[in-house]
Amino acid sequence: MAEPANTIEPEEKEAVAGPSGPSVALGNRFQIFPSTPITEMSSATVRAYVATDTRDPGLPRVALVCGNELPARLEGAKAMKSIDRPGLLRLYDFGLVDWPGTTGKRLALIYDFPEGGPLWNQSGPRDAWTPPKLISHLLSPAASALSEMFLRNVIHRAVRPQNLYWLDQARTRVVLGPCLAVPPGYDQPAAFETIEGAMADPEARGEGTRADDMFALGMTLMAFAQGSMPGGGLDPEEAISRRIERSSFDTFSDMNKLPAVLMDAMRGLTNDWEGDRWTVEMLRGWIDGKRQQSTQTVPPLLRAAKGFRFGNREYKNARDLAHGMGKRWEAAARELRNGNIAMWVRNTLGDQKLHDRIQASVAEPTGDPNPTFNDATIVARACILLDPMAPVRFRGYSVTLDGLGNALAAAMRKPGMGPIFADLIRSRTLGAWAHFHKMAGGKHSPPNGFVERLSKWIDDPAPGNGIERCLYELNPNLPCFSEMAAGMWVSEPDHVLEALEAAAGSSRKPIDRHIAAFLAVHAGADPAQIKALMNPEQVDVQGGLSILRLLADLQAQFGPPSVPKLTAWCAGLVRQFVDGLKHLPLRQSQIGQLNKVSEEGDLKQLLDLVDNEKMREVDSWGFDAAKEAYAAAEIEIVEIRGGAKARTAYAIRTGKETAALTAASLSGVVGIGSLLLRLF
C-alpha cells in the first residue's frame, strides 16, 4: 500500500526570491526577471529565472533561458506545449526574448514553478525510500508522465533523481523536470544512460527511444531505493568495462540495501538488452499488481581468457577494447597497422571472420593522402566491427547517428571543429556502421538514403552544400550560425530576410556559406541562385533576376512587408536591365519606378518591374524599327545627293537632307515610343 503523502519527511529547500528588477517579455503574457535566478533549476548551459503570468498573477512560473551553444528540442516543445497531466511539469510557452547583456536573442521556455523543490537536492548519500513510497511517489507519477510523452512521440531523456520535483509546497505531487532546453541525454550522468549512451559524448547521444527513458527510470529507482547515486566515485572507463562484463545492474546496485519486492522492477528496467527491457506498459502492470518476468541483464558477450594489453589496461572482450581504442585512436591505428589487434581477435577470441574483416578494413584505401584522416578512418572502421552496437568513434569523438546533428551543432561553435566532422562524414564510416549494426541485430538504423545524402552534400564544396548543408539539414530548427546574422535568431525562413536586410545595409556581401546553406535547406534555393548571391559582382541580368525571384518569393511567403536596404541592393543587381533600355523616356520612367520601389522595400514590385519579357521585346523591336528608319533615311539622302545637279540651291538640298533624316528617325522613335508608353 502506498504511504500517505503526509508521512514524507521535510527536506531543506532553497528559498526563491520574488520577482524583482527589470523584466523581459515573452509574448503578451509572461514576464521574466533576469535579476532573480533560480539556482536549483539552473545548469551550466541553461539558466532558470523567476517569471510571472499575467493570466494567473498569483501562481509562480519559472523561465529556462538557453544559451546559443547547444540546440534546444523545439519539436518536442511544440508537442508538449500546454499539456497538463499528472507527473508532468507543464510547459506554457516558449519563444525568443531580447536578453540583456547579450548580443541577439535567447530562447526561453516557461514552466510551472515546482514549489516543493527537487526530490534529490544533494549528491551524497541520503535516507532510502521505502517500497510503498517509491511506488506511489516515484514510479506511478513517472510512468504516467512518460506514457503521456510517448503518446506524443516525445522521449524525455532527462529522467534522474535531481530532475524530479515536488510540484506543490505540501509535497504531495511529483513531476518529471524539464528536458527540452538541451540535446537529449546531455545532462544525464553516465550511469543513467544505457551502455551505448554512456559511450557517446553527451551532446551526441541522440534522441534515443522509449527504452532509454525506461532504463533511466530504473536507475533512478535504484538511487532512491539504496539512498545513493549509482556509479558515484567510479572511474568512467572502469564503469563502462564493468557494465559490459557484469551488467549495469550488477555494477551499480548495492544488493544489501535493495528491497526484494523491488528487485524484479529494477532488473527489468535496467536490462542492458533493449529487447528484454521493461516497457512503460509492463511497469504500469507491475504497479497494478501483475507479475512481470525479469530476464537476464547481460547481452551475449565473447570473453577472452587472455586480455589484449592496450594503453594502461588489459581488455578481455571486443566491446571494451573498441571503447578503449576510440579514446586512444592514434595508438590504436598503430596496433591495427601492425596486425596485433586482428591477431588477438583470431588467436584469443577465436573469431576468424572478424579477424579477416578487420584486416580488410585496414587494407582498404581511403582515397585521401592525409595520414591523420587515414588513421582515424581505419580506427573507426575497426571499432564498428568490434562493437557494431556502440556509437561511431572518430578522432576521439563518439557519436550516435541520431545524435550527429546535435554533435555537429556543438562542434561548429568551436574553432577548427567543423573539418573534423566533415572528415567523419567523408570517411563513409556512417554507412559502415549502419550496415554492420543491422547485421548484428541492431534496431537503430538510419532512414533510407540518410548516409547517401550526407555524403553527397559533404563531397560538394560549392556554397549551399558542404558541412554547412549537413548542419542545417540535420538540425531543422537550428538558428543560422552566420556572423552576418549576429544579433538575430535566424531559425526559419521568415527570419532570413531580416538578417539579409541588416547585411545589405553594410559593406558586406549579403550572404556567406552559412546563409547559403540555410537558404538551400529552408527556401529551396538552387545552386545558380546561391552562386549569384555569393558573387554579385559577376552577376548578369539573368543571374540578378534569379536572385530577385528567390528573395521576392521569401518575402511574399514569410515577410517582413518592407526590406528597403535589401530591395535597393537587388535594384543595383538588376539596374543593368533598366540601363539597357533603348527608349529614353521609358528608361527614365523605369529608373524613377526603380527608386520608388526600392524605398518601399517591396521585392515583388521590383521583380514585376524588371522581369518583363514583353517590355524587353517591344523595346528591342522599337530599336530595330528605329534603325531601319534611320537606314531608309540614309538611302533617301543618297538619292537626294544623286539628284543634286538638277538642284541649284545648296541650302535647299541641305535642308531636305536634314528633314528626311529627322522625319525618318522621328517616325520610328515616336511611333515605338507611343506604343511603349501606352503599354508600360
Query: What global pTM score does this model have?
Result: 0.85
Q: Which residues pair with 48 in a beta bridge?
A: 64
Q: Where are the alpha helices (DSSP H) in 227-328?
A: 236-246, 248-252, 263-269, 280-287, 318-327
pLDDT attached to residue 598: 78
How far apart (Å, rounded) are the C-alpha atoms in residues 27 and 239?
Answer: 46
At residue 109, the 3 state secondary structure works out as: strand
Q: Under a CB-based contact definition with an 8 Å cutoff, are residues 93 and 29 in contact?
A: yes
pLDDT attached to residue 618: 57
Cell readout for 130 is 521505502
Mean pLDDT by 10 residues, the chain (680 residues): 38 64 94 95 95 93 92 96 96 94 87 95 81 96 98 98 96 97 97 98 96 98 95 91 94 92 95 94 95 71 88 93 97 97 96 97 94 97 97 97 96 92 96 95 89 95 93 90 72 73 67 86 84 72 78 84 86 69 64 78 84 57 57 69 55 51 48 51
Helices (H) and strands (E) in the chain, counts: 28, 13
Q: What DSSP state is assigned to residue 88?
A: B
Cell readout for 447 is 532512414
Q: Which residue has the cell 525618318?
A: 664
Q: Which residues have C-beta within 8 Å of that of residue 623, sequence separation ≥ 6?
A: 582, 583, 672
pLDDT attached to residue 628: 60
pLDDT attached to residue 15: 57
- Side chain identity at 617, as an amino acid letter? E
Cell readout for 91 is 510547459
Q: Which residues pair with 438 in a beta bridge?
A: none
Query: How many residues does this entry show for the chain?
Result: 680
Q: Under a CB-based contact definition with an 8 Å cutoff, are residues 361 and 293 in contact?
A: no
How far apart (Å, rounded) are the C-alpha atoms in residues 643 and 653?
Answer: 9
Q: Under a CB-based contact definition with an 8 Å cutoff, are residues 160 and 216 in contact?
A: yes
Is residue 560 reached through a cis peptide bond, with omega within 30 degrees of 0 on the bond before it? yes
Mode of pairing for the β-strands spanning 303-310 and 174-176: unpaired
pLDDT attached to residue 2: 37
CA dihedral 571, 575, 577, 578 (to 10 degrees): 100
CA–CA distances in Å: residue 454 to residues 337, 417, 430, 470, 547: 29, 17, 10, 6, 26
CA–CA distances in Å: residue 491 to residues 71, 102, 476, 518: 11, 18, 8, 9
Q: What DSSP state is assigned to residue 8?
A: S
pLDDT attached to residue 525: 84
Q: What DSSP state is assigned to residue 139?
A: I
pLDDT attached to residue 538: 66
Question: Nearest 5°: phi and psi at 399?
Answer: -135, 130
Cα angle 314, 299, 241 (rounded to 5 degrees) comes to 25
How far apart (Å, rounded) are the C-alpha atoms in residues 495 and 522?
Answer: 11
Rounded to 10°, the helix 513-522/527-534 angle is 150
CA–CA distances in Å: residue 623 to residues 541, 583, 618, 619, 671: 19, 8, 8, 6, 11
Query: How many C-beta neighbours within 10 Å does residue 55 have?
Result: 8
Q: Under a CB-based contact definition with an 8 Å cutoff, are residues 338 and 332 in contact?
A: no
How far apart (Å, rounded) are the C-alpha atoms in residues 631 and 634?
Answer: 5
